[in-house]
Structure 1
Amino acid sequence: MLHSVSAAKIYKTGDLKGLEAEKSQEVDRKLFDRFLSEFPSNSRSVTLLKEHDFGNSYHDNNTDEIDRFVDTWNTAESEFLDDELEVTRKELYEKLYTFIYKLAQSSGYIGTGPILSAVPDAYRGEWEWPERVETRINELNKLSTECYELHQQFVMLGRRKLKC
C-alpha cells in the first residue's frame, strides 16, 4: 500500500511539472507572438538592417520597429521564461540598443524632410570621405548586419522551441 502511494505522488508530481512547463511555454508563446507582430522579419526596420548601406540616406520611419523594441522590450513583462530564449532576446536587445544609439549619434536630417544621413553635409555627394566618416559608415553597416542576424536567429529559435 505504501508503495502505491509513493508511486501516485511521483506520478502527480510529474503531472504538475509537465503542466507547469506547458503553462510556461504558453506564456512564452504569447510573448513571442507579440514580438513577431511588433518586429516581424518583413518590417521596414529589418529590411533596413539587412539591406541598407549607411553611406546612403534613409527615411526616418525605417527605424520605427527598432525604436519601439528598444523602448518597450527591457521590462520584466518582456522577459521569456525559457532561459535560452531570454538570453537570445537580451542579446538582440543590447545589440539593437547599441546600434540605434550609434545611428542617432551619427545621423542628421537632410534639410527639413524625413530623410536622414550618417554622412555629414560637407561630405555628402563626394567620392571620397575622410577616414572618420568611412569608419562610422563601416561600423554602422557592421552593427546593422549583426542586428539582422541576431533578429533572424531569435525568430528561428522561438519558432523551434515554441513550435510556431
Structure 2
Amino acid sequence: MFKKILFVITTLLSTVVFAEVKFRIDEGGQYIQGALGFGPGGIGLGGDYELGLANDVTWGGMLRFYPENTSASKSKVLHIGAFIRPHWVRGSWDFYTNMGAGITTASDPNRNETMVTPTIGIGTSLALTQSISLSIESLTVYGITTDFYRGPFNTDYMFKMRFRLN
C-alpha cells in the first residue's frame, strides 16, 4: 500500500514540475499587450508594444486612456509615451519596472492641458504559454510642465494580456 501511495505522490509532483512554462524575453522579440484596469476616475484602457533589446530588457510605446469622471472630479486623460522596461525572469514569472516619458492630455470642463510627463511603473506577469502571459501593473504619470497637474496626478492598476508576435 505504501508503494502505491508513494507512486501516486511522485507522479503528481512530477506532473507539476513538467507543467511549468518558462517565460523568456528574446532580443528582437515583438510583444503586444492589451490593458484593462482602474485609474483615479474609474476604468482605464490601454495597450503596449514592446521590442526586445536583450534577453532582459525591452523598449516600446504605450497608450492609456481614462475617461472623465465628473462625480469624482477627475479629468479625462490620454497618455501616449515610450518606455524602457528591465525584466527579472524567474521560471514562468516575470518581474519588471517601467521608466518612460510621453505626451499627456488632461481635460475637464474647466481646463485642457497637454504636457510632457515622465512615467514610472512596476508589474509582474505569469506565462501561460511561450507566447501568452497575464500581467498586473501599476503605472504612475507625473506632471512636471504645468502648475495645475504637478507631481503624481494619475496612478492606475491594469490587468494585461501579452501576446508574442514573432
**Same-fold status (TM-score > 0.5):** no
Larger radius of gyration: 1
Report the TM-score when normalising by structure 1.
0.29
Between Structure 1 and Structure 2, the one with more helix by share is: 1
Higher strand proportion: 2
Which structure's relative contact order is higher, taking Cα pairs within 8 Å and 6+ residues apart? Answer: 1
